[in-house]
Structure 1
Amino acid sequence: MIDDLDRHIIDQLRVDGRRSFGEIGRSIGLSEAAVRARFRRLNRRGVVQVVGMTDAVKMGQLEVHLAVRVQHIPVALVARELSRMAEVQYVASCVGPYDLIADVRCQDISHLAELLTERVRRINGVEHAEALTVLEVLKDTYLWAGFREVPVRPGDQILPR
């Protein structure tokens, strides 16, 4: 179970994933050891991971959102095949006109063309795959529902109830 203190720790890491456990602890009223233990538990459970994120467009790559419609086989089988591709960064099942959404990174347009025509569209069960190419990232924040819009800052004390 994730409690308010866990959410505060995640909030601090969302703003700066390099923030020290000591700094986080001081800002939310916990010891460094307590923050470290909570982080390790959250990390082991797959709730949180700290990674460096890049902007594909600024790196000269193509970032593409694929919308995929599946027919005649379980969606999970197509999702598994997409997940095996190195270019695919994210796969999610969804409701609506498409069964799967995937985020893909390609080196250039010919790489994207090869990926779509030679691999994605040849996966058994893929009825339709639509590519939406990102031209520019205008906003890139990952706020989970229930988290505060304004993060806790060092010096703000959030004490357990």
Structure 2
Amino acid sequence: MTLDDLDRAVIHALHVDGRAPFNQVAAVLGTSQQTVARRYRKLRSGGVLRVVGMTDARRLGQVEWFVRLRCTPDAALPVARALARRTDTSWVQLTSGGTEISCVTRAPSHNAPEALLLQQLPKTPRVESVSAHCLLRSFVGGPIGWYGRASVLTDDQTARLTPAREPASSEVDIAGDERLLAAMRQDGRVTYAELAAATGLSEPTVRRRVNQLRGSGILYLDIDLDSTVLGFHAQTILWMSVRPAQLVTVAQALARQPEVALAAITTGPTNLLAKVVCRDVDALYTYLTERVGTIEAIEHLETAPVIRTLKRAATAAG
């Protein structure tokens, strides 16, 4: 699918607020509500993007883990597909020539993610190794969105679309919200009438509940996007070892770079993870040599090119 400037503007607008009414988006973009709705439906039905309602793991008492599995070549794809079918995984990707799988999983803080994952993986000795890296702090990615996806709106347009934050409450209880959150995971733009039907609550109640969950930071909206349609064809995971005294400084510097879709401090033999999205391998070469390569605090760098994405934020991709 070929995108034009209006398509990219709609994507950027939904990244600012995934539930922004189409009439508001149209007013900001200077077009009609019908045009915005039509463009969104085209992007949605074409599998280019989906607005998804995500929950902040830490606010739910969970921990996110980046898991790396090394497999024999014949086992990597079946294992990756098994991981993609799980409800507790996201970003399941084949990397490093197709023999390594990287994914994100959530678990209660007292459970070991390796054990949880391996309980339901195919029973095969061809899974050669598993390592898990606890996400300690994100600097971009997750609730802190990546605007490099389709950064075309002006600061004024972005401000007009940015929703007013509801006052945060320290006593938000999500008991009984399972069906609401499940519906939001499937479609972050699900109407309040549809949410009411799914939950058995009234429309005013679900509207208030969604606003409370967003205001507390438990619920946030993300864009599940195929970055190739924006012209980004070279995606790589960087596993870095950085001198501890400069770890936060390096993470903050990476987060400001438009190529970086995710930057996170982790546990493990490497302590900084980044996902880099570039237009092609030449752009990736330039990024690695002229941007990352000049950061002296990085003592070790491992690059793992993404060969195939089987699951993005919450969607099986193939």
Normalising by the smaller structure, the TM-score range is: 0.7 to 0.9
Q: 2:227 aligns with which of 36, 44, 56?
A: 56
2:302 matched residue in structure 1: 130
Residue identity matched to 1:26: A
Check whether the contact 2:259–2:278 (CA below 8 A) recurs between aligned residues: yes
User: What per-residue deviation string (whole Å, max 9, x for no partner) do you get for residues 97-153 of structure 1?
Assistant: 11011112110011111111111222241112222111111233549xxxxxxxxxx
Instruction: Determine which structure has the larger helix proportion and give its number.
Output: 2
1:6-155 maps to which residues of 2 (within 5 A)?
6-57=177-228, 60=231, 61-71=233-243, 73-140=245-312, 142=314
**Per the alignment, do residues 107 and 4 of structure 1 end up closer, same or farther by CA in structure 2, a change over 3 Å counting?**
same
Q: Report sequence identity in percent.
A: 32
TM-score by length of 2: 0.41
Instruction: Determine which structure has the larger strand proportion and give its number.
Output: 2
How far apart in 2 are the matches of 1:92 and 1:127?
A: 17
Report the RMSD for the aligned CA atoms in angstroms.
2.2
CA shift at 1:94, angstroms?
1.0
Check whether the contact 2:224–2:313 (CA below 8 A) recurs between aligned residues: no
**Per the alignment, do residues 56 and 47 of structure 1 end up closer, same or farther by CA in structure 2, a change over 3 Å counting?**
same
How far apart in 2 are the matches of 1:74 and 1:47?
A: 30
The higher relative CO (CA closer than 8 Å, separation ≥ 6) is in 1
CA shift at 1:50, angstroms?
2.2
Query: Size of the alignment, in residue pairs?
Result: 143
For 1:103, what is the secondary structure of its paired residue? strand
Q: Which runs of 5+ in 1 are unaligned?
A: 144-161
Check whether the contact 2:180–2:198 (CA below 8 A) recurs between aligned residues: no
Q: Which runs of 5+ in 2 are unaligned?
A: 1-171
Check whether the contact 2:236–2:276 (CA below 8 A) recurs between aligned residues: yes
- With 41-50 and 116-125 compared, the bigger mean Cα shift is at 41-50
For 2:241, what is the secondary structure of its paired residue? strand
How far apart in 2 are the matches of 1:6 and 1:115?
A: 43
How far apart in 2 are the matches of 1:123 and 1:37?
A: 47
TM-score by length of 1: 0.77
How far apart in 2 are the matches of 1:23 and 1:137?
A: 31
How far apart in 1 are the matches of 2:206 and 2:217?
A: 16
**Per the alignment, do residues 137 and 31 of structure 1 end up closer, same or farther by CA in structure 2, a change over 3 Å counting?**
same
Check whether the contact 1:56–1:63 (CA below 8 A) recurs between aligned residues: no
Check whether the contact 1:78–1:124 (CA below 8 A) recurs between aligned residues: no
CA shift at 1:44, angstroms?
2.5
How far apart in 2 are the matches of 1:134 and 1:52?
A: 19
